[in-house]
């Protein structure tokens, strides 16, 4: 349905990777087809895309050539290749789900990048409208929020923000500074902002250099911020303003900020999940649906123990709390 493959497929992938010849690879594929009862008579759709890494062109060409040679020697009736082009990993998952659910009662959306933007924009704007009054109105900061240590340096710190028209009367949070890790998230976020409008989502995009080799994730991105516990060089944190960092293919994100004393604070996945759970619970309570809607949180076995304790002990109105290690806590 567009998600990552289930863990049960990992042994198959391992067997394919360990095939030591072309004949062994074909034999392994045939064995997997038999074991999984795969109907090769069913038309197949293969969606592929790439990010901004220099190796992508070579890898895509190898993939297409490999698929073409497989189709020529296969008894499968039809295989449709869909080249999604430059996409983030979440966009690729979206396209797969849309194609798999097309024409069904669970049809997910329009199978295009534009459809992805419109679906996200609609959900975000609807949520913003429903939450109006929860957030105190404030002024969108200027580009001066971002300060360069070396204004002449070609470091990928290219401010990109469109201030909303104050006559429209929008009540906005301040612009959020987004470190795109010099990866595919940069051009895609710029496209999305054009769709949703800067009046709904004012952003300041930094680390958007996707043309210089070696810049991807270089002293920036989610992993850098999490491991170094600091913002990327050249981004000076303004107290209480919002900042976030993508990883190179824009499927992971961390948020962070500086408090009034300039101390760095990281909001990783565990903390974001906790905040999201509290927010959803507030919406459920406001709607008077506590007895009808159950709220749950899923964490992996690698989750921070402090977040697990907080969710189970403080957010006591959660109906159920699950961990992916197979344990359930009421």
> Could you tell me where the DSSP H helices lie in the chain?
10-17, 22-35, 56-73, 89-101, 113-130, 185-196, 221-228, 269-286, 305-313
Condensed to tens digits (0 to 9), the pLDDT of residues 156-168 reads 433 333 344 444 4
What's residue 152's pLDDT?
41
Token pair in block for residue 197 = 């409008």
Token pair in block for residue 298 = 């899923």
**Cα angle, residue 96 at apex, residues 93 and 101 outer, rounded to 5°:** 125
Report d(CA 137, CA 189) in Å as an integer. Answer: 24
Token pair in block for residue 105 = 């009662």
Collapsed DSSP state (helix, strand, coil) of residue 12: helix
| pLDDT bracket for residue 257 (50, 70, 90) | very high
Map out the domains of the chain with their CATH numbers.
7-107 (3.40.120.10), 115-267 (3.40.120.10), 275-329 (no CATH)
Please check whether residue 155 is in contact with residue 189, taking contact to mean a CB–CB distance below 8 angstroms.
no
pLDDT greater than 50 at residue 171:
no
Which has the closest alpha carbon to 36: 44, 24, 28? 28
DSSP code string of 132-145: TTTS--BPPP-GGG
Q: Which are the contacts of 184, defined by CB distance < 8 A and separation ≥ 6?
A: 51, 52, 86, 87, 88, 210, 248, 249, 250
Beta strand 203-206 with 176-179: parallel, antiparallel or unpaired?
parallel
Count how many residues are written for the chain. 330
Condensed to tens digits (0 to 9), the pLDDT of residues 199-229 reads 888 999 999 999 998 999 999 999 999 999 9
> What is the 8-class DSSP label of residue 144?
G
Of all residues in the chain, what percent carry a pLDDT higher than 70?
78
pTM: 0.76
What's residue 1's pLDDT?
67
Report d(CA 210, CA 147) in Å as an integer. Answer: 21
Among 12-21, 75-84, 142-151, 198-207, name the one with the lowest average pLDDT.
142-151
pLDDT greater than 70 at residue 247:
yes
Condensed to tens digits (0 to 9), the pLDDT of residues 43-97 reads 778 899 999 998 999 999 999 888 887 665 555 557 788 999 999 999 999 999 9
More confident residue, 153 or 27: 27
Q: Indicate the burial class of 49 (C-beta count within 10 angstroms; 0-12, 13-18, 19 or more).
A: buried
Dihedral sign, Cα of residue 144, residue 202, residue 90, residue 61: negative
What's residue 167's pLDDT?
42
Please check whether residue 208 is in contact with residue 180, taking contact to mean a CB–CB distance below 8 angstroms.
yes
Token pair in block for residue 170 = 């929008």
């Amino acid at each position: 349905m567009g998600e990552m493959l289930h863990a049960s497929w990992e042994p198959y992938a391992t067997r394919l990777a360990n095939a030591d010849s072309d004949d062994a690879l074909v034999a392994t594929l045939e064995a997997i087809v038999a074991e999984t009862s795969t109907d090769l008579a069913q038309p197949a759709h293969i969606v592929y895309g790439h990010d901004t890494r220099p190796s992508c062109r070579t890898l895509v060409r190898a993939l297409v050539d490999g698929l073409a040679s497989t189709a020529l020697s296969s008894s499968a009736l039809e295989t449709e290749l869909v080249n999604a082009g430059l996409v983030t990993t979440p966009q690729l998952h979206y396209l797969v789900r849309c194609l798999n659910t097309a024409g069904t009662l669970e049809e997910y959306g329009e199978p295009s990048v534009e459809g992805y933007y419109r679906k996200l924009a609609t959900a975000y704007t609807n949520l913003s409208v429903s939450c109006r009054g929860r957030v105190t109105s404030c002024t969108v900061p200027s580009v001066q929020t971002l300060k360069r240590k070396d204004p002449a340096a070609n470091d990928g710190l290219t401010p990109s923000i469109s201030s909303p028209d104050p006559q429209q009367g929008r009540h906005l949070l301040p612009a959020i500074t987004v470190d795109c890790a010099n990866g595919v998230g940069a051009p895609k976020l710029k496209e999305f902002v054009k769709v949703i409008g800067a009046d709904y989502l004012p952003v300041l995009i930094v680390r958007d250099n996707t043309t210089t080799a070696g810049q991807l994730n270089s002293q920036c991105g989610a992993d850098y911020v999490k491991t170094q516990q600091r913002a990327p060089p050249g981004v000076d944190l303004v107290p209480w303003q919002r900042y976030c960092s993508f990883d190179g293919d824009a499927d992971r994100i961390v948020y962070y900020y500086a408090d009034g004393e300039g101390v760095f604070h990281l909001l990783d996945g565990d903390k974001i999940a906790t905040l999201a759970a509290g927010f959803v619970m507030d919406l459920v309570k406001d709607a008077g649906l506590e007895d009808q809607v159950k709220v749950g949180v899923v964490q992996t076995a690698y989750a921070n123990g402090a977040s697990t304790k907080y969710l189970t002990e403080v957010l006591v109105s959660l109906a159920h709390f699950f961990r992916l290690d197979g344990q359930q806590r009421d």
